[in-house]
Structure 1
Amino acid sequence: MDLPVRPIQKNIAVVTLSGRLDAVTGPEIRQALLSQVEQGCTTLILDMSRVHFVDSSGLAMLVSLLRAAKEKGGEIFLAGLQAQAETVFRLTMLDRVFPIHPTVDDAIARAK
């Protein structure tokens, strides 16, 4: 999967996701994002402003990615969540696990 990646610093990048994060798309997205982490971009800011649906498989993929990033000293920031996704993160209490920011710029400022 070809995801738009915008490098910010050597180890920080913004990745724009769109559509759905679910059992169908999750594995391919996970592999693409893990590839970024393994190549040294250990802190990812995921622009979720175009993601309109997240299910439990999508959440599991993000938690797995977070674990991999933290093992390398990095972090996963989420930015621009739509209402449905924000509700899912609150209900599952994953808003306490992931740093969530209203905009990509806010997340970049925090990541630096």
Structure 2
Amino acid sequence: MKRVAAIAAFASVVMVGSASAQYYNEYRDVACVMYEDSNYSGRALRMQPDQAVSFRSGQFWNDRVSSIRVARGCSLVVYEDTRMGGRSQEFRRNDRHVGDWNDEISSAECYCDG
């Protein structure tokens, strides 16, 4: 009986460790997040380092972004037109409300140092 209890205790420690590692791996590569609404609410579009997105007219995300999160050491460059065209701005930190860029973003690139 003691042996079964010891095996169960060991298994629970192993399972907790792997669950925590799985959570870390799932979110580790998220460098930039664009949100549909201000204050980081609504639908979220997660971006990995060195990822670019371009929204065509009529796609959900085109001209819908209202807030962003940017991981430390990363930057998000947003553009008013698709295919990284038109005026642009670089964000290097979180912004609850993107000001003049509210509902104006049609493409973006996420970059990270290293």
Scaled by the length of structure 1, what TM-score is found? Answer: 0.29
Structure with bigger gyration radius? 2
Scaled by the length of structure 2, what TM-score is found? Answer: 0.29
More helix by share: 1
More strand by share: 2
